[in-house]
Amino acid sequence: MQIKKYIAPSLKEATQQMKLELGVDAIILGTRIIEGDKRFNLKKMYEITAGIDQPAKSNVDNRSEQKTPSAENYKSEIEALTRKIFQKPEVPLEQGERKNKNYRAASSVKTFEREITEIAETLQLHEIQKNISNTLIKHLSNSSGFVDESGLENYLLSTMASMIPTTSFKVNKKKTHKIALVGPTGVGKTTCIAKLAVISKIIHKLNVGLISIDTYRLGAIDQLRIFSEISDIEMAVAYEPEEIPKLIKKFKNKDLIFIDTVGRSQNSKKNLEAIKAHLEAAQVDETVLVVSATSSTRTLNDVAEKFKDLKYSSVIFSKVDEAVSYGNIMNLAVTHNVPVMFLTNGQVIPDDIVSVTPAFLANLVYTGKLYK
């Protein structure tokens, strides 16, 4: 017997390949599903193992061409099972019925293509950059063998979620954890620190300290000091990098120290180097980049690239409640492979901050709807 394997996006296509090469007398000996991998844009495939009896090399002995009753019965059973699993019943069709059947098949293809076109338009509307949108659409187009049009949006959201990295806020209570927030001017770093400090103290029962190195912005220290007095969280100010080690030592019994940095333009290399000197003096354990969700993708990419020297490991998107679309969130996270930690959606402390998951962000980006 000649045995071969065939792999295709659907069982029907694999079966057609088998019949085309081995003929209608070929039998299916086994099937299996090869799972895809979304990380590498690989879709699910189907494999069948087929076989066919090889023709006799000589017709001198007719007995070599004869099959025993048991072999015939076995082949008939396999063929019947194959037809039951992979083929629709062969029912004679009138000419009109054939036309209707062909029309329904063509209509289904057109509906599938129309759904993909509408999805592509939605992705563009929500400002998802072209290379990411093209990847998503290509992935959807390749799904026609196992996803119908009614399931396309769910499949899209699942694919988007698999592409968006996120992370959670974690603290090691065995030692003092020092976390700094950095970012451009006016993105709300101080308000964000206030929210995280209250959550850490009230919900996680942590002993929290605040250090401000934002001695440049008018009123920044007063803003944080008023908050520290109201929330009963100890605060200190460092005017020079040399002062930071003493303050860290002063807060050695704290579980968590938040460091509020001055907002600086990504285009000022000198100012970014000054922030870096403060963070190195503090020997921070974690740096988080804070950016505004109202910024364009082009601006966000520029900020993310130029702040890399500060070695941030995650990002917080502020002012989400002021944005008109959220494609830039996915654009930044995917392009720079930086996980999203939080979204902030208002000024209320500590309420207006949201911990995120990939599924939450995928839904936010695609629907453009934020639920406070």
CATH number for the domain harbouring residue 296: 3.40.50.300
Q: Are residues 192 and 275 in the same domain?
A: yes
Task: Look at the chain and report how many structural domains it folds into.
Answer: 3
Q: Are residues 129 and 191 in the same domain?
A: no
For 170-185, the pLDDT digits (tens) are 877 778 999 999 999 8
In the prediction, which pLDDT does 2 show? Answer: 73
* Dist. CA 217–CA 194, nearest whole Å: 17
Q: Are residues 120 and 258 in the same domain?
A: no
In the prediction, which pLDDT does 102 show? Answer: 45
Q: Are residues 297 and 226 in the same domain?
A: yes
Q: Is residue 98 part of a domain?
A: no
Q: Are residues 199 and 303 in the same domain?
A: yes
Q: Is residue 293 part of a domain?
A: yes
Q: Are residues 344 and 213 in the same domain?
A: yes
Angle at 48 between CA 46 and CA 52, to 5 degrees: 160
Which range among 3-17, 69-83, 238-252, 304-318 has the greatest average pLDDT? 304-318
Q: Is the pLDDT of residue 75 over 80?
A: no
For 76-97, the pLDDT digits (tens) are 655 655 554 444 444 444 554 4
Contacts of 25 (CB under 8 A, 6+ apart): 52, 53
In the prediction, which pLDDT does 180 show? Answer: 94
Q: Are residues 181 and 286 in the same domain?
A: yes
Whole-number percent of the chain with pLDDT over 70: 77
For 244-301, the pLDDT digits (tens) are 999 999 998 999 999 998 777 777 788 888 889 999 999 999 999 999 999 999 999 9
Q: Is residue 222 part of a domain?
A: yes
CA-based nearest residue to 281, from 246, 230, 237, 316: 246
Determine the structural domain holding residue 127 and report its residue range.
104-163
For 11-63, the pLDDT digits (tens) are 778 888 888 888 877 777 667 777 665 554 566 777 777 777 765 444 444 44
Q: Is the pLDDT of residue 206 over 50?
A: yes
In the prediction, which pLDDT does 85 show? Answer: 45
In the prediction, which pLDDT does 281 show? Answer: 92
User: What is the arithmetic mean of pLDDT over 207-227?
Assistant: 79
Q: Is residue 91 part of a domain?
A: no
188-197 in b/e burial notation, b at 16+ Cβ within 10 A?
bbbbbbbbbb
Name the residue type at position 237: V
